[in-house]
Structure 1
Protein backbone atom coordinates (compact mmCIF):
# COMPACT_ATOMS: atom_id res chain seq x y z
CA UNK A 1 0.00 0.00 0.00
CA UNK A 2 1.30 3.43 -0.91
CA UNK A 3 0.68 4.80 2.59
CA UNK A 4 2.91 2.12 4.08
CA UNK A 5 5.58 2.86 1.47
CA UNK A 6 5.80 6.52 2.52
CA UNK A 7 5.52 5.68 6.22
CA UNK A 8 8.53 3.37 5.91
CA UNK A 9 10.78 6.40 5.31
CA UNK A 10 9.80 7.95 8.67
CA UNK A 11 9.90 11.43 7.16
CA UNK A 12 6.23 12.40 6.88
CA UNK A 13 3.29 12.63 9.24
CA UNK A 14 0.18 10.59 8.43
CA UNK A 15 -1.60 13.82 7.44
CA UNK A 16 1.21 14.80 5.07
CA UNK A 17 1.07 11.37 3.46
CA UNK A 18 -2.71 11.55 3.01
CA UNK A 19 -2.43 15.04 1.50
CA UNK A 20 0.31 13.85 -0.84
CA UNK A 21 -1.28 10.66 -2.16
CA UNK A 22 -4.44 12.49 -3.21
CA UNK A 23 -2.30 14.00 -6.00
CA UNK A 24 -1.67 10.57 -7.52
CA UNK A 25 -3.82 9.40 -10.42
CA UNK A 26 -4.74 5.70 -10.59
CA UNK A 27 -3.99 4.16 -13.99
CA UNK A 28 -4.64 0.67 -15.28
CA UNK A 29 -1.87 -0.56 -17.56
CA UNK A 30 -2.35 -3.49 -19.91
CA UNK A 31 0.30 -6.11 -20.56
CA UNK A 32 2.90 -4.76 -23.06
CA UNK A 33 1.79 -1.12 -22.63
CA UNK A 34 4.57 1.38 -21.99
CA UNK A 35 5.07 3.69 -19.05
CA UNK A 36 7.76 5.48 -21.08
CA UNK A 37 9.42 4.72 -24.42
CA UNK A 38 13.08 5.13 -25.27
CA UNK A 39 13.54 8.55 -26.92
CA UNK A 40 10.53 10.12 -25.18
CA UNK A 41 10.55 12.54 -22.27
CA UNK A 42 9.59 11.33 -18.80
CA UNK A 43 7.91 13.85 -16.52
CA UNK A 44 6.13 11.50 -14.15
CA UNK A 45 6.76 9.05 -11.35
CA UNK A 46 4.63 6.00 -10.65
CA UNK A 47 4.10 3.86 -7.62
CA UNK A 48 3.59 0.26 -8.75
CA UNK A 49 0.50 -0.89 -6.91
CA UNK A 50 0.48 -4.28 -8.63
CA UNK A 51 2.06 -5.87 -11.69
CA UNK A 52 5.63 -6.14 -12.95
CA UNK A 53 7.48 -3.82 -15.33
CA UNK A 54 10.71 -4.23 -17.21
CA UNK A 55 13.19 -1.55 -18.14
CA UNK A 56 15.07 -2.18 -21.37
CA UNK A 57 17.12 -0.52 -24.07
CA UNK A 58 16.87 -1.12 -27.79
CA UNK A 59 19.86 -1.10 -30.10
CA UNK A 60 19.78 0.31 -33.63
CA UNK A 61 19.34 -3.20 -35.00
CA UNK A 62 16.23 -3.68 -32.83
CA UNK A 63 17.77 -5.92 -30.20
CA UNK A 64 16.34 -5.38 -26.70
CA UNK A 65 18.37 -5.75 -23.51
CA UNK A 66 16.55 -5.94 -20.18
CA UNK A 67 18.17 -3.66 -17.59
CA UNK A 68 15.98 -4.18 -14.54
CA UNK A 69 12.51 -5.06 -13.31
CA UNK A 70 10.11 -3.02 -11.20
CA UNK A 71 7.95 -4.89 -8.76
CA UNK A 72 4.94 -3.85 -6.65
CA UNK A 73 5.28 -1.36 -3.82
CA UNK A 74 8.14 0.58 -5.39
CA UNK A 75 8.46 3.85 -7.25
CA UNK A 76 9.22 3.77 -10.96
CA UNK A 77 10.46 6.32 -13.47
CA UNK A 78 13.06 6.71 -16.20
CA UNK A 79 15.20 8.34 -13.55
CA UNK A 80 17.97 9.97 -15.58
CA UNK A 81 15.45 11.39 -18.07
CA UNK A 82 13.23 12.54 -15.22
CA UNK A 83 15.94 14.52 -13.42
CA UNK A 84 17.70 15.86 -16.53
CA UNK A 85 14.63 16.69 -18.65
CA UNK A 86 16.31 14.83 -21.52
CA UNK A 87 14.78 12.01 -23.52
CA UNK A 88 14.79 8.56 -21.98
CA UNK A 89 17.49 6.06 -22.87
CA UNK A 90 15.23 3.25 -21.68
CA UNK A 91 11.73 1.95 -22.23
CA UNK A 92 9.61 0.80 -19.31
CA UNK A 93 6.94 -1.72 -20.25
CA UNK A 94 4.33 -3.73 -18.34
CA UNK A 95 5.04 -7.46 -18.33
CA UNK A 96 1.49 -8.17 -17.15
CA UNK A 97 -1.65 -6.16 -16.45
CA UNK A 98 -0.83 -3.66 -13.74
CA UNK A 99 -2.12 -0.78 -11.68
CA UNK A 100 0.06 2.24 -11.04
CA UNK A 101 -0.42 5.49 -9.17
CA UNK A 102 1.09 8.38 -11.17
CA UNK A 103 2.15 11.87 -10.15
CA UNK A 104 3.50 14.62 -12.39
CA UNK A 105 6.97 16.13 -11.93
CA UNK A 106 5.49 19.65 -11.70
CA UNK A 107 3.35 18.60 -8.73
CA UNK A 108 6.39 17.08 -7.00
CA UNK A 109 8.32 20.31 -7.50
CA UNK A 110 5.40 22.29 -6.06
CA UNK A 111 5.31 20.04 -3.01
CA UNK A 112 9.06 20.48 -2.57
CA UNK A 113 8.59 24.25 -2.41
CA UNK A 114 5.79 23.91 0.14
CA UNK A 115 7.48 21.46 2.51
CA UNK A 116 11.21 20.79 2.95
CA UNK A 117 10.45 17.14 3.82
CA UNK A 118 9.85 16.47 0.12
CA UNK A 119 13.37 17.60 -0.61
CA UNK A 120 14.66 15.18 2.02
CA UNK A 121 12.53 12.43 0.50
CA UNK A 122 13.84 13.26 -3.01
CA UNK A 123 17.41 13.10 -1.72
CA UNK A 124 16.72 9.73 -0.12
CA UNK A 125 15.22 8.37 -3.36
CA UNK A 126 18.23 9.65 -5.34
CA UNK A 127 20.55 7.85 -2.92
CA UNK A 128 18.53 4.63 -3.29
CA UNK A 129 18.69 4.90 -7.08
CA UNK A 130 22.46 5.35 -6.92
CA UNK A 131 22.87 2.35 -4.64
CA UNK A 132 20.67 0.21 -6.89
CA UNK A 133 22.69 1.22 -9.94
CA UNK A 134 25.97 0.53 -8.17
CA UNK A 135 24.72 -2.87 -7.00
CA UNK A 136 23.67 -3.72 -10.57
CA UNK A 137 27.12 -2.74 -11.93
CA UNK A 138 28.90 -4.83 -9.29
CA UNK A 139 26.52 -7.71 -9.97
CA UNK A 140 27.22 -7.59 -13.70
CA UNK A 141 30.95 -7.57 -13.11
CA UNK A 142 31.30 -10.15 -10.38
CA UNK A 143 28.32 -12.51 -10.26
CA UNK A 144 27.55 -15.51 -12.41
CA UNK A 145 24.20 -15.86 -14.13
CA UNK A 146 23.27 -18.51 -11.56
CA UNK A 147 24.09 -16.14 -8.69
CA UNK A 148 22.06 -13.32 -10.30
CA UNK A 149 19.12 -15.65 -10.88
CA UNK A 150 19.25 -16.91 -7.29
CA UNK A 151 19.27 -13.31 -6.05
CA UNK A 152 16.14 -12.56 -8.07
CA UNK A 153 14.49 -15.66 -6.62
CA UNK A 154 15.46 -14.57 -3.12
CA UNK A 155 14.27 -10.97 -3.58
CA UNK A 156 11.09 -11.54 -5.61
CA UNK A 157 10.01 -15.21 -5.48
CA UNK A 158 6.32 -14.45 -5.99
CA UNK A 159 6.88 -12.39 -9.16
CA UNK A 160 9.71 -14.19 -10.95
CA UNK A 161 7.27 -16.62 -12.59
CA UNK A 162 5.53 -13.68 -14.30
CA UNK A 163 8.67 -12.65 -16.18
CA UNK A 164 8.97 -14.28 -19.62
CA UNK A 165 12.13 -16.36 -20.01
CA UNK A 166 13.56 -14.26 -22.85
CA UNK A 167 13.38 -11.14 -20.63
CA UNK A 168 15.06 -12.99 -17.77
CA UNK A 169 17.77 -14.34 -20.05
CA UNK A 170 18.43 -10.86 -21.43
CA UNK A 171 18.64 -9.43 -17.91
CA UNK A 172 21.09 -12.14 -16.88
CA UNK A 173 23.14 -11.71 -20.07
CA UNK A 174 22.69 -15.31 -21.20
CA UNK A 175 20.74 -17.31 -23.78
CA UNK A 176 17.35 -18.86 -23.04
CA UNK A 177 18.95 -22.29 -23.35
CA UNK A 178 21.48 -21.40 -20.63
CA UNK A 179 18.66 -20.05 -18.47
CA UNK A 180 16.79 -23.34 -18.84
CA UNK A 181 19.86 -25.19 -17.56
CA UNK A 182 20.15 -22.80 -14.61
CA UNK A 183 16.49 -23.23 -13.73
CA UNK A 184 16.95 -27.02 -13.67
CA UNK A 185 19.84 -26.58 -11.17
CA UNK A 186 17.79 -24.43 -8.81
CA UNK A 187 15.62 -26.20 -6.27
CA UNK A 188 12.79 -24.34 -4.59
Structure 2
Protein backbone atom coordinates (compact mmCIF):
# COMPACT_ATOMS: atom_id res chain seq x y z
CA UNK A 1 0.00 0.00 0.00
CA UNK A 2 1.41 3.42 -0.97
CA UNK A 3 -0.02 4.88 2.24
CA UNK A 4 2.43 2.80 4.27
CA UNK A 5 5.40 4.14 2.30
CA UNK A 6 4.11 7.72 2.62
CA UNK A 7 3.64 7.42 6.38
CA UNK A 8 7.04 5.81 6.77
CA UNK A 9 8.67 8.63 4.80
CA UNK A 10 6.80 11.35 6.65
CA UNK A 11 6.92 10.05 10.18
CA UNK A 12 9.91 7.68 10.40
CA UNK A 13 7.73 5.54 12.64
CA UNK A 14 8.65 2.27 14.30
CA UNK A 15 6.96 -0.73 12.67
CA UNK A 16 4.52 -1.28 15.56
CA UNK A 17 3.53 2.40 15.59
CA UNK A 18 3.18 2.42 11.81
CA UNK A 19 0.90 -0.63 11.95
CA UNK A 20 -1.19 1.01 14.67
CA UNK A 21 -1.60 4.13 12.52
CA UNK A 22 -2.38 2.14 9.37
CA UNK A 23 -5.02 0.08 11.17
CA UNK A 24 -7.10 3.24 11.69
CA UNK A 25 -7.27 4.16 7.99
CA UNK A 26 -10.26 2.76 6.12
CA UNK A 27 -10.54 2.47 2.35
CA UNK A 28 -13.26 4.62 0.80
CA UNK A 29 -14.35 5.41 -2.74
CA UNK A 30 -15.87 8.62 -4.02
CA UNK A 31 -17.47 9.20 -7.39
CA UNK A 32 -16.77 12.15 -9.65
CA UNK A 33 -18.24 15.41 -8.26
CA UNK A 34 -18.88 13.90 -4.79
CA UNK A 35 -17.91 16.20 -1.94
CA UNK A 36 -15.34 15.06 0.59
CA UNK A 37 -16.26 18.05 2.75
CA UNK A 38 -18.00 21.41 2.29
CA UNK A 39 -17.58 24.98 3.54
CA UNK A 40 -19.26 25.59 6.88
CA UNK A 41 -19.49 21.95 7.92
CA UNK A 42 -17.05 20.22 10.26
CA UNK A 43 -14.30 18.13 8.68
CA UNK A 44 -13.81 15.06 10.83
CA UNK A 45 -11.63 13.06 8.45
CA UNK A 46 -8.06 13.08 7.21
CA UNK A 47 -7.37 11.10 4.05
CA UNK A 48 -4.64 9.83 1.77
CA UNK A 49 -5.41 9.78 -1.96
CA UNK A 50 -4.66 6.43 -3.56
CA UNK A 51 -6.20 7.38 -6.91
CA UNK A 52 -8.18 10.21 -8.45
CA UNK A 53 -8.13 14.00 -8.20
CA UNK A 54 -9.68 16.46 -5.77
CA UNK A 55 -10.00 20.21 -5.79
CA UNK A 56 -9.85 22.36 -2.69
CA UNK A 57 -11.92 25.50 -3.29
CA UNK A 58 -14.20 28.18 -1.92
CA UNK A 59 -16.44 30.95 -3.20
CA UNK A 60 -15.64 34.61 -2.66
CA UNK A 61 -18.09 37.44 -3.29
CA UNK A 62 -16.91 37.73 -6.89
CA UNK A 63 -15.68 34.28 -7.94
CA UNK A 64 -14.79 30.72 -7.12
CA UNK A 65 -11.18 30.13 -6.09
CA UNK A 66 -9.45 26.78 -6.42
CA UNK A 67 -6.66 26.73 -3.88
CA UNK A 68 -5.22 23.32 -4.70
CA UNK A 69 -5.63 20.24 -6.86
CA UNK A 70 -4.59 17.08 -5.09
CA UNK A 71 -3.94 13.68 -6.61
CA UNK A 72 -2.34 10.35 -5.84
CA UNK A 73 0.09 10.51 -2.95
CA UNK A 74 -1.36 13.63 -1.32
CA UNK A 75 -3.31 13.97 1.91
CA UNK A 76 -6.56 15.95 2.08
CA UNK A 77 -8.51 17.58 4.89
CA UNK A 78 -9.51 21.04 6.00
CA UNK A 79 -6.77 21.25 8.60
CA UNK A 80 -8.24 24.10 10.68
CA UNK A 81 -11.53 22.23 10.92
CA UNK A 82 -9.93 18.83 11.57
CA UNK A 83 -7.49 20.01 14.25
CA UNK A 84 -9.37 22.92 15.85
CA UNK A 85 -13.00 21.87 15.27
CA UNK A 86 -13.77 25.03 13.29
CA UNK A 87 -16.26 25.10 10.41
CA UNK A 88 -14.61 24.29 7.09
CA UNK A 89 -13.13 27.19 5.18
CA UNK A 90 -12.76 25.05 2.05
CA UNK A 91 -14.86 22.60 0.11
CA UNK A 92 -13.09 19.52 -1.20
CA UNK A 93 -14.65 17.76 -4.19
CA UNK A 94 -13.66 14.71 -6.22
CA UNK A 95 -12.90 15.73 -9.80
CA UNK A 96 -12.73 12.08 -10.87
CA UNK A 97 -13.72 8.79 -9.34
CA UNK A 98 -11.31 8.35 -6.44
CA UNK A 99 -10.04 5.93 -3.84
CA UNK A 100 -8.85 7.27 -0.51
CA UNK A 101 -7.77 5.91 2.87
CA UNK A 102 -9.44 7.83 5.68
CA UNK A 103 -8.86 8.16 9.40
CA UNK A 104 -11.59 9.59 11.59
CA UNK A 105 -10.82 12.55 13.84
CA UNK A 106 -11.61 10.50 16.96
CA UNK A 107 -9.07 7.82 15.97
CA UNK A 108 -6.49 10.43 14.99
CA UNK A 109 -6.80 12.02 18.43
CA UNK A 110 -6.08 8.65 20.04
CA UNK A 111 -2.66 8.47 18.35
CA UNK A 112 -1.29 10.86 20.97
CA UNK A 113 -2.26 8.44 23.75
CA UNK A 114 -1.39 5.21 21.93
CA UNK A 115 1.89 6.19 20.25
CA UNK A 116 4.55 7.68 22.57
CA UNK A 117 6.41 9.50 19.76
CA UNK A 118 3.23 10.81 18.08
CA UNK A 119 3.74 14.48 19.02
CA UNK A 120 7.21 14.45 17.39
CA UNK A 121 5.90 12.64 14.30
CA UNK A 122 2.93 15.00 13.92
CA UNK A 123 5.17 18.05 14.38
CA UNK A 124 7.45 16.79 11.60
CA UNK A 125 4.47 16.25 9.29
CA UNK A 126 3.07 19.73 9.99
CA UNK A 127 6.50 21.27 9.39
CA UNK A 128 6.69 19.56 5.98
CA UNK A 129 3.23 20.89 5.12
CA UNK A 130 4.28 24.38 6.18
CA UNK A 131 7.47 24.19 4.10
CA UNK A 132 5.44 23.20 1.03
CA UNK A 133 3.09 26.11 1.62
CA UNK A 134 5.99 28.55 2.02
CA UNK A 135 7.57 27.30 -1.19
CA UNK A 136 4.29 27.62 -3.08
CA UNK A 137 3.70 31.17 -1.83
CA UNK A 138 7.25 32.22 -2.72
CA UNK A 139 6.95 30.79 -6.23
CA UNK A 140 3.60 32.50 -6.63
CA UNK A 141 4.87 35.96 -5.73
CA UNK A 142 8.30 35.68 -7.36
CA UNK A 143 7.46 34.26 -10.79
CA UNK A 144 5.49 35.41 -13.80
CA UNK A 145 2.24 33.79 -14.89
CA UNK A 146 4.09 32.06 -17.73
CA UNK A 147 6.77 30.72 -15.37
CA UNK A 148 4.08 29.43 -12.96
CA UNK A 149 2.35 27.68 -15.84
CA UNK A 150 5.58 26.13 -17.14
CA UNK A 151 6.56 24.77 -13.73
CA UNK A 152 3.07 23.50 -12.91
CA UNK A 153 2.80 21.81 -16.31
CA UNK A 154 6.22 20.14 -16.00
CA UNK A 155 5.36 18.77 -12.55
CA UNK A 156 1.68 17.93 -13.18
CA UNK A 157 1.25 16.90 -16.82
CA UNK A 158 -1.34 14.28 -15.90
CA UNK A 159 -3.50 16.92 -14.18
CA UNK A 160 -4.01 18.64 -17.55
CA UNK A 161 -5.58 15.43 -18.89
CA UNK A 162 -7.97 14.96 -15.95
CA UNK A 163 -8.93 18.39 -14.58
CA UNK A 164 -10.87 21.24 -16.23
CA UNK A 165 -8.56 24.08 -17.22
CA UNK A 166 -10.50 26.74 -15.27
CA UNK A 167 -9.51 24.99 -12.01
CA UNK A 168 -5.86 24.83 -13.04
CA UNK A 169 -5.98 28.52 -14.00
CA UNK A 170 -7.38 29.39 -10.57
CA UNK A 171 -4.63 27.43 -8.79
CA UNK A 172 -2.10 29.39 -10.86
CA UNK A 173 -3.75 32.72 -9.98
CA UNK A 174 -4.91 33.58 -13.47
CA UNK A 175 -8.04 33.64 -15.57
CA UNK A 176 -8.90 30.76 -17.90
CA UNK A 177 -8.33 33.15 -20.81
CA UNK A 178 -4.81 33.99 -19.62
CA UNK A 179 -4.03 30.29 -19.21
CA UNK A 180 -5.26 29.59 -22.74
CA UNK A 181 -3.16 32.42 -24.12
CA UNK A 182 -0.04 31.19 -22.30
CA UNK A 183 -0.63 27.60 -23.45
CA UNK A 184 -1.03 28.74 -27.05
CA UNK A 185 2.17 30.78 -26.84
CA UNK A 186 4.15 27.91 -25.28
CA UNK A 187 2.81 25.36 -27.78
CA UNK A 188 3.51 27.51 -30.86
TM over 0.5: yes
CA deviations over 1:16-73 (Å, ceiling 9, x no partner):
3233212111111111111110111112100001111111111245x21111111211
Structure 1, 50-59 or 3-12: larger mean CA deviation = 3-12
Residues 18, 186 of structure 1: CA spacing in aligned structure 2 closer, same or farther, 3 A cutoff? farther
Q: Runs (4+) of structure 1 moved beyond 3 Å? A: none
* Correspondence 1:118 to 2:122: no
Q: Which runs of 5+ in 1 are unaligned?
A: none
Q: Distance in 2 between matches of 1:42 and 1:9?
A: 22
Following superposition, the deviation at residue 184 of structure 1 comes to 2.3
Q: Tell me the TM-score normalized by structure 2.
A: 0.90
Is contact 1:152–1:160 with CA below 8 Å preserved after alignment? no
152-161 or 112-121, larger mean C-alpha shift: 152-161
Aligned-CA RMSD value: 1.7
Distance 1:151 1:182 in 2: 13
Q: Is the 8 A contact 1:11 1:117 kept in 2?
A: no
CA distance in 1, matches of 2:48, 2:11: 18
Q: Which residue of 1 aligns with 2:49?
A: 48
CA offsets 1:76-124 (integer angstroms, 9 cap, x no match): 1111222221111111111111001110121111121111222222111
SS for the counterpart of 1:40 is: coil
Distance 1:117 1:159 in 2: 36
Alpha-carbon shift at residue 10 of structure 1 (Å):
5.7
Unaligned runs of 5+ in 2: none
